Every structure is written in structure tokens, then in C-alpha cells.
């Protein structure tokens, strides 16, 4: 009888765990506002499964993306590196994409067809996304692989160029190989954030060569184990598309409309990062304390990132440090000493955790009407 009860208890717990796993909900889903004229699509375009050197089945990647509230992912398996080949024979390099598509068909998640071209220096590692067929991209010469990706209309970005296994000094080397790919229209983006690493040298290359700024998780294990349980969010690329579709996302990436995000770090070109930050805060209340010239503000952070600011207004704070944090979803009370009652006040804040160029942080402004 005890054995039977134990078995029933085991079944109950197992079904409970499975139900929780399939809810596709997370305690910290990723949320970011749209910017004027564009939809902000949350994407992770560099992830792996057992079909290259990852440790999970493709459908798990779909479930993780749904839990994180992503709009799109790409399973970018290494074309040339298949360490699980003995256990999982897969001559078709499109297989993980096919499995992910089947899992995602009943969910609101876009699967971008992609692969990783994996070579030693100077070519390095590069992702080709929005491809049609991965098999012809597997070529003996790296130059031929890039040429085939271009034939398929792929958006190609350079992976972790500052990775010390590729560049021992930890700085990316923009070699003749990359220059030739750029000249031939075969290289379009560069990872500025890969996994937990931010490389400002990669950002400098992005700005110098007009490459699209990318942020990716490059996940091989589980998102929960590698990021969530450590108190981190998965790195993503926010793509500012005209509509929520794969075609519009592809157009936006070629046009360079992105911001890379990891936790409280945001990296992007000024014309996209500043509007994102301006939409990320909402001034919910603005009124003077009774019989004073102290303006009481309530400012809400509507993103899933904690944001750090420094006051750059002409007015000083009454009871706050000029450097302050507004946590994700939090409403922060701020008091400004305006010295006289004003109907309009300009609040200027420098975003300390955000970069538009190496060591260059943007300043955002809010024109506040006082009631």
C-alpha cells in the first residue's frame, strides 16, 4: 500500500512539474516599450541545441523563449562542429530549425532560420540568419560559405569578436578577411554583447563600419541555469521593426535599427537608444508640496531592466542623491528644488548604464507639465 501511495505521489508531482514547465510563463518576462514609428521586437539570434554543441533539444529553446516573452529566436547551429554526431546523426543541417518550427507553430513566436559559420581566425565565428537552406552554406572555404549565405539573402553578423580564444588580447581584430566581406556585402552586423561580455571595442567597430549592433545569449545550456538562477536576464537584441513580422525584422536588421540589452546595460546608436530610454520612463505625477517650491515627481520604469541615472537638470534634488536607480517596474519618487513655482519643467537625466559609443552615455529629457 505504501509503495502504491508513493508511486501515486510521484505521478502527481511529475504532472505538476510538467504543467508548470508548459505554462510558458516566467517570473521575469522581458518587456520593453515601442519607440515612435517602430515595434520593439525582443530577439535572441544566437543559440545552440544538441544539433551542434548545445545540451538541449530544440523544443526547449522555444519554451524558454516563450517564458522570456521573446518575439523571435534563431537556432544557429555550428555547421562545421557537431560534437554529438555519434549519438544524434543529422546530415541535414536544417533539422533543429524544422523541430523548432513544429514546436512554435501553435505559439506567437517567430523562428528565424539560421546557422553559424565556424572557422578559426581571421574568419572567426559568424551567424547567417534569414537563410533558406543551411546545407549549401557548409563549404570547404570560408569565403564560399559567406558567398552562399549572401545568395540566400542572409543577414550575417560577426560573433564574439573580442573572445580571447579568437583574440588573445581580448580586443577584436578587423582583418583583411572582414574588410573583404564588408566590401562584398557579406558582413552586416557585430556582437557587442555576447553572453555576459560587453566589448566597447566591438561597439567602436560597429560605429566605424556601420555594422548593426547585436546582443545575444549564445546559450548552450539552460537559460534558467546560466542566467535566471544567477540573477541575470538573457542578453537580447531589440529590433525596431515597422511591423511584427520576419520580413520587417530582416529589413530592420539590415537598416541597423537595434539596441543590445543585458540586465541594466543598453548599447545602441543614439537615434534608437535615446527614444527607447525616453519611452522607458513615465512621469505619473508632478505637483508641488503644499506652500513650497519643491516639485514632487513620481517616475515609473516600465521596462524589465533596472535603470541607473544621474540628474543633469538645472534643478537639484531635494532629498535624493543625484545618482539613483529605478528598478524594473518600480515607481520612484523624486523631489526637485525649482526655487519658484513653474508650469513647465525640463527634467534631464544621464543614463549611466547605457552607451551610444565607447564611454559615451546618452542624456534624455522630459518636458513636464505641472498640475
Instruction: Report cis status (omega within 30 of 0) of the bond before 312.
Output: no
Tens-digit pLDDT string for the chain (371 aa): 544 444 344 344 444 444 444 555 555 699 999 999 999 999 999 999 999 999 999 999 999 999 999 999 999 999 998 999 899 888 999 999 999 999 999 899 999 999 999 999 999 999 999 999 999 999 999 999 999 999 999 999 999 998 877 777 778 999 999 999 999 999 999 999 999 999 999 999 999 999 999 999 999 999 999 999 999 999 999 999 999 999 999 999 999 999 999 999 999 999 999 999 999 999 999 999 999 999 999 999 999 999 999 999 999 999 889 999 999 999 999 999 999 999 999 999 999 999 999 999 999 999 999 98
**Looking at residue 354, what is its pLDDT?**
98
Residue 4 lies in a domain: no
Residue 2 lies in a domain: no
**Looking at residue 9, what is its pLDDT?**
43
Dihedral angle sign, alpha carbons of residues 129, 130, 133, 139: negative
Phi (first) and psi of residue 147, to 5 degrees = -65, -40
Cβ count within 10 A of residue 6: 10
Cβ count within 10 A of residue 160: 24
Q: Are residues 55 and 110 in the same domain?
A: yes
pTM (whole model) above 0.75: yes
SS3 of 150, please?
Answer: helix
Residue 313 maps to which CATH number?
2.60.40
Q: Are residues 165 and 302 in the same domain?
A: no
Sort strands 110-112 and 72-75 into parallel, antiparallel or unpaired.
parallel
Residue 9 lies in a domain: no
∠ at Cα 343 (340, 346), nearest 5°? 85
Residue 5 lies in a domain: no
**Looking at residue 36, what is its pLDDT?**
98
Residue 32 lies in a domain: yes
Q: Where are the beta strands (DSSP E) in 59-113?
A: 72-75, 77-78, 110-112
Residue with cell 537552406: 133
Which residues are paired to 128 by β-bridges?
Answer: 115, 156
Do residues 350 and 362 make contact, with C-beta atoms less than 8 angstroms apart?
yes
Measured CA distances, 209 to 169, 174, 177, 271, 359 (Å):
21, 10, 14, 17, 18
Cα Dmax for the chain: 80
Task: Please give the Cα distance from 364 to 114 (Å, whole number).
Answer: 36
Half-sphere exposure of 206 (CA within 13 A, CB side): 34
**Looking at residue 26, what is its pLDDT?**
57
Of 129, 131, 182, 189, nearest in space to 161 by CA: 189
Residue 130 maps to which CATH number?
3.20.20.140
**Looking at residue 95, what is its pLDDT?**
96
Number of domains in the chain: 2
Last residue in a domain, options 263, 284, 304: 263
Of 70, 11, 102, 370, nearest in space to 249 by CA: 70
Range of the domain at 78: 26-263
Amino acid at each position: 500500500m505504501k509503495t502504491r501511495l508513493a508511486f501515486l505521489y510521484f505521478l502527481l508531482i511529475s504532472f505538476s512539474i510538467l504543467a508548470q514547465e508548459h505554462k510558458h510563463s516566467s517570473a521575469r518576462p522581458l518587456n520593453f516599450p515601442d519607440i515612435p514609428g517602430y515595434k520593439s521586437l525582443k530577439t535572441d539570434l544566437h543559440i545552440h541545441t544538441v544539433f551542434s554543441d548545445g545540451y538541449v533539444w530544440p523544443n526547449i529553446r522555444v519554451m524558454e523563449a516563450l517564458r522570456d516573452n521573446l518575439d523571435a529566436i534563431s537556432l544557429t547551429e555550428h555547421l562545421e562542429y557537431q560534437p554529438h554526431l555519434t549519438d544524434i546523426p543529422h546530415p541535414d543541417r536544417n533539422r533543429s530549425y524544422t523541430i523548432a518550427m513544429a514546436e512554435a507553430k501553435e505559439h506567437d513566436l517567430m523562428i528565424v532560420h539560421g546557422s553559424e559559420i565556424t572557422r578559426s581566425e581571421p574568419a572567426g565565428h559568424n551567424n547567417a540568419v534569414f537563410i533558406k537552406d543551411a546545407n549549401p552554406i557548409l563549404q570547404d572555404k570560408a569565403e564560399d560559405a559567406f558567398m552562399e549565405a549572401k545568395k540566400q539573402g542572409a543577414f550575417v553578423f560577426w560573433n564574439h569578436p573580442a573572445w580571447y580564444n579568437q583574440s588573445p588580447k581580448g580586443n577584436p581584430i578587423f582583418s583583411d578577411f572582414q574588410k573583404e566581406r564588408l566590401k562584398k556585402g557579406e558582413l552586416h552586423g557585430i556582437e557587442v554583447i555576447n553572453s555576459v561580455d560587453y566589448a566597447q571595442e566591438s561597439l567602436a567597430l560597429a560605429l566605424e563600419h556601420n555594422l548593426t549592433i547585436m546582443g545575444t545569449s549564445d546559450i548552450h545550456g539552460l537559460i534558467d541555469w546560466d542566467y535566471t538562477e544567477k540573477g541575470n536576464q538573457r542578453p537580447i537584441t531589440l529590433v525596431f521593426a515597422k511591423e511584427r513580422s520576419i520580413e520587417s525584422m530582416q529589413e530592420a536588421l539590415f537598416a541597423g535599427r537595434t539596441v543590445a540589452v543585458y540586465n541594466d546595460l543598453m548599447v545602441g546608436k543614439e537615434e534608437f537608444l535615446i527614444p527607447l530610454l525616453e519611452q522607458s520612463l513615465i512621469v505619473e505625477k508632478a505637483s508641488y508640496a503644499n506652500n513650497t517650491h519643491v516639485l514632487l515627481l513620481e517616475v515609473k520604469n516600465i521596462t524589465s531592466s533596472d535603470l541607473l541615472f544621474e540628474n543633469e537638470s538645472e534643478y537639484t534634488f531635494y532629498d535624493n542623491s543625484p545618482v539613483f536607480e529605478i528598478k524594473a517596474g518600480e515607481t520612484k519618487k523624486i523631489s526637485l528644488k525649482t526655487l519658484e513655482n513653474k508650469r513647465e519643467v525640463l527634467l534631464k537625466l544621464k543614463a549611466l548604464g547605457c552607451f551610444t559609443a565607447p564611454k559615451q552615455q546618452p542624456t534624455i529629457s522630459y518636458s513636464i507639465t505641472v498640475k
